[in-house]
Structure 1
Amino acid sequence: MKPSPATSLHCRFCRHYYITHDVRFPYGCRAMDFKSKRLPLQEVRAATGRDCQTFAPKTPR
């Protein structure tokens, strides 16, 4: 069963996630204002040991 965007804490379903087009730091989070080599969710988990607290589901098109 595929997780729904509303219940999945994956960056691709978050409205704050974006692709930076910077080769060194391709992924970004507008809510926390940073870019990284790994997905922002992975960076947050590594730093805090918890899931992202700023996750906001994208609005449907």
Structure 2
Amino acid sequence: MAVNCFNCQYFFVTWDPKSPRGCKAYGFKTRELPSTVVRRSSGMECLKFEPKKGADRR
């Protein structure tokens, strides 16, 4: 199952138009979804995913 960063407590939106999305757990900003960068870099799904409290877990 693919990780949905929008439901993760570590996901954040930045003001940087070149890197509008970020991950507090891994400490980086990116143009893509952070989970895509993690999967491409490590070959594994994100291991830091933590659902937001009250988030729908679809």
Q: Structure 2-normalised TM-score?
A: 0.87
Unaligned 5+ residue runs, structure 2?
none
Counterpart position of 2:51 = 57
Counterpart position of 1:47 = 41
Equivalences, count:
55
Unaligned 5+ residue runs, structure 1?
1-6
Alignment of 1:1-61 (within 5 A): 9-60=3-54
Q: Structure 1-normalised TM-score?
A: 0.83
Q: What is the distance in 1 between the residues matched to 2:9 and 2:33?
A: 14
Q: What is the distance in 2 between the residues matched to 1:15 and 1:59?
A: 8
**Structure 1 ranges of 4+ moved more than 6 A:** none
Structure 1 residue 21: Cα displacement: 1.5
Larger radius of gyration: 1
Q: Give the secondary-structure state (helix, strand or coil) at the position aligned to 1:31.
A: coil
Q: What is the distance in 2 between the residues matched to 1:48 and 1:9?
A: 14
